[in-house]
Amino acid sequence: MNTKAKLAIGAGVATLLAAGLAVAQVPQNIPEYNKIGPGGAIPPPMPPGGGALPGYRQQSVIDGVQKKTPEFEDVFNVLDAIDSLPVTAKAKPKKARKLLIYSTARGYGHSSIPITAFAITELGKATGAWTADTSFSQADFTAENLAKYDVLVLNNTTGAFLDDANDAAGTAARRKALLDFVRGGKGLVLTHAGGDTYHGTGVPRPPPGSPPPTGPQPPQKSLWPEFTKMVGGYFKFHWYYPQPVTVKIDDPKSPINAPFNGRPFKIHDEIYTFSNDSYSRKNVHVLTSVDYSKMSAEDKAKENPATKRTDGDYALSWIRREGQGRVYYSVLGHSEHIYFIPNILQSITNGIQYAAGDLAADDSPSEK
């Protein structure tokens, strides 16, 4: 993409920001969340509202208002990363492909939601592999509307994102539409917090302002087992950003992993983990995972012993078949900077092409 085109996109983002369509980030003067980083970098203080932690950006959903516009500088970081390889389509699309990037969070509203939608849209434009629409509305989640698309992207869709407590019939219809979409031969892609969905204790939450619960609490469980199995597991714990990990390439022969050339690499992000009873290599084909042997004892100890994985298996990306359809999950992406890394953008492009049915890849379970 030439400079003129990048500036045009940036100008559009700036116009939206000036119009007040993005939630302003006004830091508060509070103590540092973390130690001073390399080069003397200081983590940003906690912004107001949204339940953000110090060192984290403000959530993208504040008081029920969804921020839809990415940060100005993030836009150019993504565009430059796409250009630097450049990112390309590794397979010729069998037909014109269309994606729906569903970006509604019912739980924690990740700050990376806007840049994730932007990056995936721009990857399609740059490679010619797809066009994309972004939706923040349940009204778009119907069987009739989904039929227009080849791939559905669940962009950090935390919580029971399809449910409406006042509309049982609508909830059931949306759930059925999702399962039918994938099982009927379409593609499903999940980014970062897509697996922090449909799990809990099943016990209603106490009203706001109630005292914290005491004593043993009910265990977490899947609140929609069909969905949990389809996507490969549900979230149970994360190491906070900027957790350093070494990424292991579990399947160096997979075309989705081709950008990594079989070499492990180090990265910082909020590292999601999945429950013992929901994630298994017998259900998914693992592409990459945390090299747990290289994690410090101090970091390992941060995981709750009561729910700690017993196998040291912390996958970061995987694929699987669901009926006639295909599922691709990339767990990285809490931090916006993940979308500034060219090789990761190429791998995501390959994963989306797999989900669309254009790029063949071994998706048999990693363990029989």
Please state, in angstroms and as integers, the Cα–Cα distance from residue 165 to each residue in 5, 93, 170, following that order: 44, 40, 10
Estimate the crossing angle of helix 113-127 against helix 342-356, to 10 degrees.
70
pLDDT of residue 61: 87
Measure the CA–CA gap between 191 and 113, rounded to whole angstroms.
9
Measure the CA–CA gap between 164 and 162, rounded to whole angstroms.
7
pLDDT digits (tens, 9 = 90+) for 92-103: 999 999 999 999
pLDDT of residue 29: 37
pLDDT digits (tens, 9 = 90+) for 232-261: 999 999 999 999 999 999 999 999 999 999
Q: Is 49 left (phi over 0), alpha (psi -120 to 50) or beta?
A: left
Residue 150 has pLDDT above 60, yes or no: yes
pLDDT of residue 187: 98
CB 354 within 8 A of CB 326: yes
Q: Show the tokens assigned to 53.
A: 């932690």
pTM to 2 decimal places: 0.88
For the chain, give the mean pLDDT.
88
Residue type, 244: P
Task: Identify the band that residue 209 occupies on the pLDDT scale cut at 50, 70 and 90.
Answer: low
Sketch out the chain's domains with CATH numbers.
3-23+60-201+218-356 (3.40.50.880)
**Of 346, 344, 342, 345, nearest in space to 84 by CA:** 342
**Of 183, 37, 181, 195, nearest in space to 108 by CA:** 195
